[in-house]
Amino acid sequence: MEETEAILGEFDREQGKSEEIVNFEELEYGNLMYEDYEVELRLQPGEGSSNSNKEVDLSLSLGGEPSSSFTVRVIERGDLDRDSQIKRPKVQSVAPKYFLGLIEKEFDRMHDGSGHHSFLASDNDASPFLSYSWIMEEDENVHPDMDDLEIQMDLTDDLLHMVFSFLDHTNLCRAAEVCRQWHIASAHEDFWRFLNFENKNVSPQQVEDLCHRYPNATQVNINGSPAIHILVMQAMNSLRNLEFLTLGKGQLGETFFQALTDCTNLKSLIVTDVILGNGIQEIPIYHDNLRHIQIVKCRMVRISVRCPQLQTLSFKRSSMAHAVLNCPLLHDLDIASCHKLLDAAIRSAVASCPLLESLDMSNCSCVSDETLREISLNCGNLRILNASYCPNISLESVRLTMLTVLKLHSCEGITSASMSAIQNSYMLEVRMFSVVSILAANFCNFSLFIFFSPQVLELDNCSLLTSVFLDLPHLQNIRLVHCRKFVDLRLESAELSSIKVSNCPSLQQINIVSKYLQKLVLQKQESLTSLELQCPGLHEVDLTDCESLTNSICEVFGDGSGCPMLKSLILDNCKSLTAVKFSSNSLTSLSLAGCQAISSVELTCPYLEQVSLDGCGHLERVIFNPVGLRFLNLGICPKLKTLEIEAPTMVLLELKGCGVISEALINCPFLTSLDASFCSQLKDHCLSATTASCPLIESLILMSCLSVGSSGLSSLRRLPNLTSLDLSYTHITNLQPVFNSCSRLKVLKLQACKYLTDSSLEPLYKDQALPALRELDLSYVSLCQASIEELLASCTHLTHVSLNGCVNMHDLDWSFSVDHVCPSYMASEQPQRFLQNLNCVGCPNIKKVLIPSDARFSNLSSLNISLSTNLKEVNVTCFNLCFLNLSNCFSLEILRLNCPRLTSLFLQSCNISEEAVESTISECNMLETLDVRFCQNVTPTSVERLRSAFPSLKRIFN
């Protein structure tokens, strides 16, 4: 250590750096390591340099007398880095693992069988540190193992002092049982400045002994302890350096207040829920050095306070009729809820405090205007006044020139004449104050005209307030909540940044002028009809449920209006709107959800990214020219007739459900998906115009577009990227335009195209049309058995085929005849087919399903033939089949499967025998799910046998 000190000292001399001395009490925490570990401390924020790390030289000695003070030398890390020879000092002591083992062993010993610490005291027991006080007095009470541990645990006293400074009293007592050295160190008076007896059942003798042991304690708390008068007298007689005293829940006699004078260092006195005196005599509090007094919820008749240095005083919720104050430096007085305090007593007490800055006399029902006038004359520095719930004040002839915060919540006497008193307060007209808050009354029948400059104005629960006209150049925040008769609001404030108007059902007109207002929320203003805004910084407006707003509201937010920066506008459930027309270069989001009366929407908003028209069921005309939308859904507008849209960035347009639309001009050069399902009036010329202006369409849904014919389909040649086409439920008869125009088509849906003939699909399997086609839906199409077989045999590139409801399909026999279907192939040369999913749901005439291995359907993974009521025989050999659904095939009798990878088999409501089921699944070693519900021939006993015989089954529905 000495060698290290010499090196550090030489380094300091070379670098010319000064050392800082830091007391251990100012350290935020310590991080102690042993043996080859380093010792590192961190300073509190604000100590030393905030941008540089500090290395701490503990300067600890390994012997000598214990030191009662502790200092460390702080050296810049950057300086140390310049010399790699300089090492931080290390604490030579017991190894860390052994040290921690001792602590853990001692900690376990100090716990009882229930896992709770044996020292934790209940409310009726002495506190832990009190019980340890007696242990520390006699060495024979020290733990017998301490002598054995003393040499091994010989840490330096300064180090222990620093570590123990971070422990509370309970942990100090625990540490005292480790060894004799820790026992002595934990009893140091630096750790016992605050004696806390709160809610502890301690005796006067215990308090006296502890106070004698630590006479330099400065803070005592006897809140909730029995016989607080006796205990506090013991503490006051022993502790001459007492500065902070807290008492509560009991009774204090006259001798306590007489003894206060002898505690010359006392600065703070807190008394809560206490009976003062015997209830007859005056309570005197005379002290020359007291700074803060709180006498809260106490009972007395009279009180006299004479403290020349007192700064804050609180009598909150105390019951006394008279209070005499002689406190010339008092600046904060709280007499809130002192219901028995007379008006004359308040007037006399406050008038004697000329430097008063804050006064809370809320809920003092006796306060009158005369008292306020007396305050205004004698308290020229008063900044904050809370006179809420004082029914007898009206502010008539009252001038509070220095006020910055005024609270008058629920003051029944406030009238329009009261406002003249406020506006004549000339100090409110200057800009020097930061906050003015006025919470007006529940019963205020007046129109408000104010011409001063507060920053916060709150007018809540003014049930009779009719209008507010404010010219407040520095107003920043205003609230109007639950003002039932409030009709007209006019605000002019350049600095207004926040406004909240809520539950004002009579509000009709709003006029706001503000430079910095960014968000305006006026929800549920059912009577609002007129809105005028001059707010160049406004970004968001929410007018939800303003049912009386008319079409003129559009003029408030368009280009050239007072809101040139508006980005978001919400007009949800504004039921009086019939036609909306906006032209804005700033608007990015518009919501008209629930505006049921709107019939026309015209938007010229090039940066509009979001629009909501949900619930606009009567919308007939939509013109977006231009907009910045990427997605648009007009499917919820069933009465839409005319659509004109120019959207340079749109990629998805949904018109599903616009059954009466007949005119559509769509100019979206980047559109990739168009859904016009059920647009039965959409003609060929509209489709041709759309394909010409939207050449990048990849997915086109024309389901139930009954007016689309060959001319419209021929225009699909302009869509080179078209990969998905849905013509389901149309009256199309000729697919040749599709075969000629859509060479890249991958998905073709022709569901329920009842006018297609057997020859309509011949180009698919004879001329190899649509070579990229992968998915084909021919559900409910009247194709003959031969056409279906030829299609399945020849179109080997198909991966998904749906033949649901095909009444002309009698058998699904894929033992393809070489002569009938594939004359160019020998039976052993069948081509590889890529079919993966086949759906033949509800084909009533299918009686047999035969898929042999030589059919080359090795990729088939899903087969659904459910609801085929006449199906009797199923014989499938397919090595990759995973899913087979034969539910509701009531006539099924024969089931043969050679599908080693089958995992799910559904036989619900089939009459197949249990022997056939068992024989079938015996060939499916990977089967996990079996559904045999409503199978009359499958008994619960056989199901249990299946469970035990086939362990791969995880789910059996029966």
| 441 close to 409: Cβ distance less than 8 angstroms | yes
Mean pLDDT of 480-491: 84
Q: What is the pLDDT of residue 101?
A: 40
pLDDT in tens, 100-157: 343 344 434 443 433 333 333 333 344 444 444 433 343 444 444 444 444 444 567 7
- Would you say residue 853 has pLDDT above 90? no
Residue 585 has pLDDT above 50, yes or no: yes
Across the range 361-365, mean pLDDT stands at: 87
Out of 483-487, 534-538, 610-614, 668-672, least confident range: 483-487
Contact 660, 637 (CB under 8 A): no
Q: Give the lowest-confidence range in 198-207, 349-358, 545-554, 612-621.
A: 198-207
Residues 457-486, mean pLDDT to the nearest whole number: 74
Give the pLDDT confidence score for residue 816 in this predicted structure: 56
* Contacts of range 547-553, beta carbons closer than 8 Å, 24 or more positions apart: 547/573, 547/574, 547/575, 547/576, 548/508, 548/576, 549/574, 549/576, 549/577, 550/576, 550/577, 551/577, 551/578, 551/579, 551/580, 551/581, 553/577
Of the listed ranges 196-200, 423-427, 850-854, the one predicted with least confidence = 423-427
Residue range 324-345: average pLDDT? 89
| Segment 328-343 mean pLDDT | 89
Give the burial class of 8: count Cβ atoms within 10 A of its Cβ; 0-12 exposed, 13-18 middle, 19 or more buried. Answer: buried
Q: Is the pLDDT of residue 88 over 70?
A: no
- Confidence check: pLDDT of 347 > 90: no
Question: Model pTM?
Answer: 0.62
What does the mean pLDDT of the chain come to? 78
Report residue 230 as tokens: 């006796």
In this structure, the strands spanning 20-23 and 71-76 are antiparallel
Q: What is the pLDDT of residue 609?
A: 95
Using alpha carbons only, give the angle 7, 11, 13 rounded to the nearest 5 degrees. Answer: 120
Confidence of residue 469 (pLDDT cuts 50, 70, 90): confident
Query: Which of 363 and 408 is assigned the larger pLDDT?
Result: 363
* 143-157, 661-675, 741-755, 799-813, range with the lowest pLDDT: 143-157
CB-count exposure of residue 879 (10 Å: 0-12, 13-18, 19+): middle
Look up residue 453 and give its amino acid. Answer: S
Q: By the 8 A CB rule, do 218 and 194 touch? A: yes
Average pLDDT for 407-413: 74
The DSSP letter of residue 247 is: E
Could you give the C-alpha distances from 173 to 110, 137, 182, 735, in angstroms and in order? 11, 13, 10, 94
pLDDT digits (tens, 9 = 90+) for 157-188: 778 778 887 887 778 888 888 888 888 888 77
| Mean pLDDT of the 593-612 span | 94
Q: Which domains, and CATH codes, for the chain?
A: 843-957 (3.80.10)
Place 809 in a pLDDT band, splitting at 50, 70 and 90.
confident
- Write the CA distances from 18 to 2, 192, 558, integer angstroms: 20, 34, 67
Give CA–CA dist 519/506, Å, rounded: 22
- Give residue 54's pLDDT: 37
Residue 548 three-state SS: coil
Q: What average pLDDT score do residues 626-632 get?
A: 94
Instruction: Write out the DSSP string of 175-187.
Output: HTTT-HHHHHHHT
The pLDDT confidence band at residue 221, using thresholds 50, 70 and 90, is: confident
| Range among 460-464, 703-707, 851-855 rated most confident | 703-707
In this prediction, residue 556 carries a pLDDT of 92
At residue 694, the pLDDT reads 96
- What six digits make up the tokens of 448? 């408000």
**pLDDT average, residue stretch 560-566:** 91
**Which residue did the predictor score with more confidence, 815 or 823?**
815
Q: pLDDT digits over 48-73, tens only? A: 333 433 333 333 333 333 333 333 33
For residue 97, what pLDDT band results from cuts at 50, 70 and 90?
A: very low
As a whole number, mean pLDDT of residues 454-464 equals 64
High-pLDDT (> 70) share of the chain, %: 76
> Nearest CA to 732 among 763, 758, 704, 770?
704
Quickly list H helices, 141-299. 146-150, 157-164, 169-175, 180-186, 204-213, 228-238, 254-259
pLDDT for the residue numbered 419? 57
User: Above pLDDT 90, what percent of the chain?
Assistant: 38
